[in-house]
Chain A
């Protein structure tokens, strides 16, 4: 194609370039400029100097983080919480999708599905408020039920307590996201060839064996992909939830990297230090996702890239 022809084509598409323009500018400012701004992790950031004007500091802020006596705790807490969320939060939507798939009554299925999406559409502030109200030992319905049914003698202090902290973090995360995350598995199950079920039935497979030998293999591919994607967030435990739920009583096991970045960066104004912690987090996340992707490709032939 000659240059003039290309120009003609470009000119013919001028409206579409106009359509692209706001997005190109926006992605430049809000994605590429911050990417360029990663260098503040290696500089003594001063607001007047900006990204490039502040003096270099080398690895000072990374060292500061690793010398911080709670750094080990922060990393450990982050990994524990996100690993628990990954395991439970990854399997429960699959279980829900399989159970829903076995339902014959369309009306019942649709009702359960609609209700399952509900918590996804409310904010973490709302979820935390709900939990505080439901779980309070002072007249909260959960404790009332537990006492009335004889499961416990005295009401349980669920919140602000290290004993129940992880259960509550993982439980509320599953509660909020299970319905939404099951959508993709529902779709995958719907795509399974019905003849496979017929064949399994003829071979004498009951419901459980059909699930085991047909449904589960049928959603294997999509599950692997979603699992790889989820490992990318192993270094972030979900900052909104932990920002709201973690308090002084649970700090020892509930302080995580994301919240540390926000607190030290915005509340304390240590921007370069926070940027260094954040960068450490992103680099580990990237390594994790690449590693899991490689393992998945070797083990199961399914991979993200």
Chain B
């Protein structure tokens, strides 16, 4: 063996990948640290791995804010309802399309595939939403995301892997079509349903665009849109405050404890990211498989 070359390659590779992994995770660690540190103290800088003046004040203030609670509620509602409906409807459609004996199956498959190549673009879609009076309602979050061609294909591919003998024996036991779907197919589809739930759940959770452009009612805005609004509104304020404290020092009393718009923003960001951070590593096994299926067959 080329004993000299191997360790060098290995060393280089492990170092590179370790650096890479750090780049992926460090921004999140930094935000967490910032959100757990006293806001005014954070403005002094030199904050990297551990909070210097530990405090939960930023979170306390974020959770005191009525607008944030309302936005969080909207996000949770749309994510739960949107995910449930999307997964149910796509699974039903995928199951029907997995039936080889279904007359017209090819036609329906093309019917849902064509829009993925020729899409109309944003404006006709937006006008359609207007015409349906979905603009400025809660349903504008849920209804336009009810179906996805790629998700249907992933589910269908999975369902086609279930042996048909299983259904036949259930039929002999006197099960009808619907009972087979409910009692045989659905319980066996756990992995794929979990994957699709993650995909669409994350889409719902992360969507800020609908909240920013389809909705003007402040009570209907989801957290991501709120974060986006804070991003554009507070950026100017916080950076000028920070500049003053860094350069002048005298104008802002940096010894005063308390939250800043920046530290509140970081706390909001952490609670925005946290739920996803908790979920996705456990579903990794499934979505890796799911993505491969979707990309190869789609």
Name A residues whose Cβ lies closer than 8 Å to a Cβ of B: 6, 9-10, 13, 15-17, 19-20, 22-24, 26-27, 29-38, 40-41, 45, 47, 50-51, 96, 99-100, 102-104, 108, 111-119, 121-126, 128-130, 132-134, 136, 138-141, 144, 175, 179-180, 183-184, 186-187, 206-208, 226, 240, 244, 258, 261-262, 265-266, 271, 274-275, 278-279, 281-282, 286
Contact = CB atoms under 8 A, between A and B. Distances in A.
Contacts of A117: 280, 284
B14 A50 contact: no
Given A40-B123, A50-B131, A139-B44, A114 B231 contact: no
Contacts of B127: 34, 37, 40, 45, 51, 271
A32 B66 CA distance: 41
Given A119-B24, A125-B227, A139-B44, A103 B17 contact: yes
Contacts of A37: 120, 124-125, 127-128
A133 B246 contact: no
B297 interface: no
A119 B126 CA distance: 29
Interface in B29-43: 30-31, 34, 42-43
7 contacts: A17-B96, A50-B131, A121-B276, A122-B206, A123-B207, A134-B27, A144-B46
Given A40-B127, A118-B25, A112 B17 contact: yes
B23 to A, nearest CB: 7
Given A138-B239, A183-B292, 8 more contacts: A35-B119, A118-B25, A122-B206, A123-B208, A124-B208, A144-B45, A207-B9, A265-B123
B48 A141 contact: yes
B119 A261 contact: no
Contacts of B2: 206
A114 B284 contact: yes
Interface of B: 2, 5-6, 9-10, 13-14, 16-18, 20-21, 23-25, 27-28, 30-31, 34, 42-48, 89-90, 92-93, 95-97, 99, 101-103, 108, 111-112, 114-115, 117-128, 130-132, 144, 146-147, 152, 177-178, 181, 202, 205-209, 213, 224, 227-228, 231, 235, 239, 242-243, 246, 262, 265-266, 269, 272-273, 276-277, 280-281, 284, 288, 291-292, 295-296
A19 B47 CA distance: 56
